[in-house]
Amino acid sequence: MTESTGPTRRGNLIPSADDFERLRELRARHPEQIRTLLTGRRRRDVLCGDGRLFIVAADHPARGALAVGTNPTAMADRHDLLERMAIALSRPGVDGVLGTPDIIDDLAALGLLDNKIVVGSMNRGGLRGASFEMDDRYTGYDVPTMAANGIDFAKALIRVNLEDAGTARTLQATAEAVTQAASAGLPIMLEPFMSRWVDGRIVNDLSTDAVVLSIAIAAGLGASSAYTWMKLPVVEDMERVMAATTMPTLLLGGDAGVDPDETFAAWEDALSLPGVRGLTVGRTLLYPPDGNVTAAVDIAAGLVHT
């Protein structure tokens, strides 16, 4: 990045108004430098130290999910979201970030990704409430681009609806992505759900039996499972859920708005189970009820890296 266009600092600091102005100039005048920043950033091993991961997720906007709690547009302000992400990434114990290319490119241009694990979201095309909601073709990162740009990890969300023929395309596309990721030596986390239509909308089944079934289906996708991880919800009887797989697993954070103390307690219990390697959490920590991102992130980091 040139002196005239790039950030005036590197590292996990909160971006200023000047940083955002330089970001806009970079995107307009020197877009080729974004790839350079991604490939040239300081990197770390995916697993180091205690072998656990705490990843902050920010891939919600690209699938049209802007709401947090009762605020329908909480994640619409990109400057506010990036500031919250910068706070989270600055905290000890935060290992990395999960995002779609637009988020990851912004964070790279702001100099916030050194020594962080970058998880590229392949995203899902079936937007909530759309007539094509179960058409979950991938619309974000692809495996060749992630491998070429220094992305450390891939993530794919898989909704399996046994009553919708669109699921077949999702399974095929995911299997191809898993095969490509294994060939590239790129870890890929699969986030499976058993889903169904209820009163004209898609609902994920969070019963223990449904989560176990989703694991069985997802684990078999692709020509090799060597690089496959799971990203699973915290549900009842997590012991039985984790008995359904030998794959390393990260827990997903769930929706914001639930009592934080109950959420943290559920995470703490599940994090003690064999095979659980950490957390991938987004809105719950970036938009906590009391507005204190630092405190929420620090509590979660403490649960992961005990």
CATH number of the domain to which 120 belongs: 3.20.20.70
Within a domain: 27: no
Within a domain: 18: no
Within a domain: 29: no
Residues 270, 283: Cα–Cα separation, whole Å:
19
* Pure H helices in 128-165: 143-148
Residues 258, 69: Cα–Cα separation, whole Å:
9
pLDDT for the residue 1: 34
Choice between 11 and 185, residue whose per-residue pLDDT is larger? 185
The pLDDT of residue 121 is above 90:
yes
Within a domain: 175: yes
pTM of the model: 0.88
Structure token digits, residue 77: 């302000």
| φ and ψ of 198, to 5 deg | -135, 110
Helices H / strands E in the chain, number of each? 11, 9
Residues 97, 95: Cα–Cα separation, whole Å:
7
Within a domain: 153: yes
The pLDDT of residue 188 is above 80:
yes
pLDDT for the residue 230: 97
pLDDT for the residue 27: 92
Residues 289, 257: Cα–Cα separation, whole Å:
7
Domain that holds residue 67: 37-304
12-16, 20-24, 171-175, 188-192, range with the lowest pLDDT: 12-16
Choice between 2 and 303, residue whose per-residue pLDDT is larger? 303
Confidence of residue 77 (pLDDT cuts 50, 70, 90): confident
Within a domain: 6: no
What is the dihedral sign for C-alpha 124, 155, 216, 226? positive
Q: Measured between alpha carbons, how far is residue 104 from residues 2, 85, 99, 125, 159 in Å?
A: 20, 11, 6, 19, 24
pLDDT in tens, 253-283: 766 556 777 888 888 999 999 999 999 998 8
Number of domains in the chain: 1
Average the pLDDT over 203-231 and give the result. Answer: 96
pLDDT for the residue 254: 66
The pLDDT of residue 97 is above 70:
yes
Choice between 100 and 60, residue whose per-residue pLDDT is larger? 100
